Chains A and B, each alone.
Chain A
Amino acid sequence: MAKILIVEDDEKLRNELEIFLNNNGYKAESLKTFNNTINDILKINPDLVLLDINLPGTDGEYVCKEIRKNSSMPIIMVTSRDNEVDELLSINYGADHYITKPFNIQILLAKIGAILRRTNMYGENFEKIDAKDFVLNISKSTIEKNGKEIELTKNEFRILKYLVQNREKIVSRDDIMECLWDSESFIDDNTLTVNITRLRNKLEELNLKELLETKRGQGYILKRREN
């Protein structure tokens, strides 16, 4: 599991981020004091740092520069200053990415995923998601089961991935749409229905049709097969 270090001085934001990242398959930790930020970060040596620009006593840009002297760990700068100049400066100081508050959390997750994949530390794990009843192959955009492989379109794949991430929870149509919109596929209600129908048909080919249930008026739920 990738270890993410949160360096943020606002306590509530820090705690909520920690909970959120822990709920989404990462091992999140955070710094509570900022007297020795640079050494603390280097000592913990996380797989990725979320670094706030405004820190008490020092500033994130300096911290970023200092870390870069000793380590190539991925750094995402978090700031509430929203302008192009700051963004460029952060990149110059060696940050891998720059994200502004208040952030879209789905996008934050996507960025973290992309950077971790790029640094290739968790390359293998990110290639495939094992959903027990079947396997999602991210690089090929397919579902695999017992050696059988079925190709999914981009949207079908995203929907199924979202359902897997929220397994055994009711997911509303709006939630699915928001997830698709976050990845810049701005589909409407009818297209969603079409996509779900196609996804169902493909699941049927693998005898998995009964896993995806419709909850009238509420949305969908992806169940686990009972053994």
Chain B
Amino acid sequence: MRFIDFIKEKVLTILLLTFALITIEIFLMAYVVDNFIKIYIPVVIIVLYFLSITVEYYKKKKFYKNLYKTLDSLEEKYLIAEIIDNPNFLEGKILKDIILQTDKSMLENVNKYKYLQEDYKEYIELWIHEIKIPIAASKMVVANNKNEVTKSIDEELDKLENYVEQALFYARSNNVEKDYYIRKCSLKNIVNESIKKNKNNLIQEKISIDIYNLEQEVNTDSKWVVFILNQIIQNSIKYKKQNADAKIEIYSEKKKENVILYIKDSGIGIKKGEITRVFEKGFTGTNGRIVGKKSTGIGLYLCKKLCDKLRITRKLNSMENEGTEIRLVFPINSYMDMK
């Protein structure tokens, strides 16, 4: 708040005051009055008036300056009314009261949506657990009646299961609360688990698997990592080269501060300009638009989100027509600085 701005606000009072002083001077001149009085009256009025607005100015300036400073340092700005001192002038008091009331109403509104979202997430999780039962039953029927037809149904059931899983992790990934459980897991078990999950597809597509150097332990949530690997492997299957020997290579490397897991495929690769964008939500790219690929742009986006939560960094290298390599870097001391 600059003084000049403050004075501008007072322009009307100053004009009226000046007008009053001029009329007083005219009256005083019409009567025979001592010169001292002619000067004393306007000077006293002007000095006292300026004194009063200066006091007012500093009072307000102090309050608003303080207010802005607190506001700047505050991460959740809507909490401002809870923090500032009680102002000692009327407008300030009105302002604080208004902010308090606005905050209250906003918080109520926000809570309403928080509740709705929580409710929705609970429903989704419940639904997912429910739908797994008919999937499990269908898979049992298939197992008891093995033939060409049921085998084909089984493949579709696998896809269904995958989509369901994706929805579950999507719901989990948006949750603010901790939904994972970190403990020591064997990297080998995690990799084996994710390959087994995709065995039908991998065998059908004649993709050979080469895994080695996986005798490492990492601190993480194995269920989440299996899901992440699952998405990556599914992409490798989806974007394999036609009429060529397809291969997926998975191995790890232990460094001083982390364990790196490499997932390499010999697929069609990703265009240079698109590599940085594959983790974006809804990004399908040139490959995703190839007929029959049905890319949703959700898989890798979810990978990114889940990796971020688990503090796994990822790197993606790819050459068109050569293949793609994804690296997942597990920090060794991840569980100390886990949020």
Contacts and interface: CB of A to CB of B under 8 A. Distances in A.
B121 to A, nearest CB: 14
A144 interface: no
Contacts of A82: 168, 223
Contacts of B208: 188-189
A63 interface: no
B140 A17 contact: yes
B204 A184 contact: no
Contacts of A182: 196, 199
Interface string A98-127: 001111110100000000000000000000
A101 B143 contact: no
B140 A184 contact: no
B54 interface: no
A10 B137 CA distance: 8
B136 interface: yes
Interface residues of B, dominant DSSP: helix
A101 B135 contact: yes
Interface residues of B, number: 36
Contact of B223 (A16, A83, A174, A186): A83
A102 B139 contact: yes
A132 interface: no
B187 to A, nearest CB: 14
B199 A181 contact: yes
B125 to A, nearest CB: 9
A83 B221 CA distance: 9
Interface residues of A, number: 32
A84 B222 contact: yes
Contacts of B174: none
A178 B200 contact: yes
Given A80-B132, A178-B199, A12 B143 contact: no
B209 interface: yes
Nearest to A88: B181
Given A81-B129, A102-B161, A182-B196, A12 B137 contact: yes
A44 interface: no
B144 A23 contact: yes
A2 interface: no
Given A17-B140, A102-B132, 11 more contacts: A10-B137, A13-B140, A16-B137, A82-B168, A84-B183, A102-B135, A102-B139, A102-B161, A182-B199, A186-B209, A188-B208
